[in-house]
Amino acid sequence: MTARTSRQAFGLKILKAGHPDIRQLKREGHVAEIHGNKFWNSSYLIMDYLKKNPLPKKARVLEIGCGWGLLGLFCAKQFGNRVHGIDADENVLPYLELHAKINGVRMTGEKKRFNQLTVDYLSGFDVILGADICFWDEMSTELYNLIRRGKKAGIRQSMISDPCRPPFTALSEKCEEKFDNVEVVEKFLKRPVNASGEILIVR
């Protein structure tokens, strides 16, 4: 029963849609509206990368389009980072809180859109992370502008992973054209699930 409704991966317990606690939150009316209804696999690509390229403990991490927040929670658990998540959909936040609780780590979250993250706001962080957040055409421009504001704010590293949907590829190409220090890392994972895609890294 447990294996069917949750999984253990990268040191985290991750609940599936059928888990009683997830179903309870849904019954209470927390129904995600912009695809934040589950945990998406592209987070694993960044987790795998960070296992081999760890963040310093003192790094302040912002997870954008955080959904259930597992990527941020991974950083809090593995590296002891202070982590905050933002998402346009407030309905995802109780799922983030639930996963923070069952994993015994701390991560704060709030409702905010990419476009609302000002240079001043971003100056409170060192690293921006996001997984599976570039799926509509307008998101390429929004995320490009966000990364640019992040650079002004002193963000040291922005990382966005995706299974390579066209808006993400457009974002990567624009970053490669406009910024100096850009890396695009290809990833193929067999475990904990089959997952493939790219990580855009802007330093």
Ligand X SMILES: C[S@@+](CC[C@H](N)C(=O)[O-])C[C@H]1O[C@@H](n2cnc3c(N)ncnc32)[C@H](O)[C@@H]1O
- Chain residues binding ligand X by CB under 6 A are 34-36, 39-40, 42-43, 65-68, 87-89, 92, 113-114, 131-133
Task: Provide, rounded to whole angstroms, the least separation between the CB of residue 90 and ligand X.
Answer: 9
Nearer residue to ligand X within complex by CB, 43 or 157: 43
Task: Provide, rounded to whole angstroms, the least separation between the CB of residue 140 and ligand X.
Answer: 12
Query: Which ranges of the chain does DSSP label H, i.e. alpha helix?
Result: 2-5, 20-27, 42-52, 70-79, 93-103, 119-122, 137-153, 166-178
Nearer residue to ligand X within complex by CB, 35 or 174: 35
- The continuous run of DSSP H or E covering 199 comes out as strand 195-202
Structure tokens at 121: 């706001």
Helix orientation angle between 166-178 and 137-153, rounded to the nearest 10 degrees: 40
Chain centroid to CA 92: 13
Task: Provide, rounded to whole angstroms, the least separation between the CB of residue 180 and ligand X.
Answer: 26
Task: Provide, rounded to whole angstroms, the least separation between the CB of residue 104 and ligand X.
Answer: 20
Nearer residue to ligand X within complex by CB, 137 or 181: 137
Nearer residue to ligand X within complex by CB, 66 or 202: 66
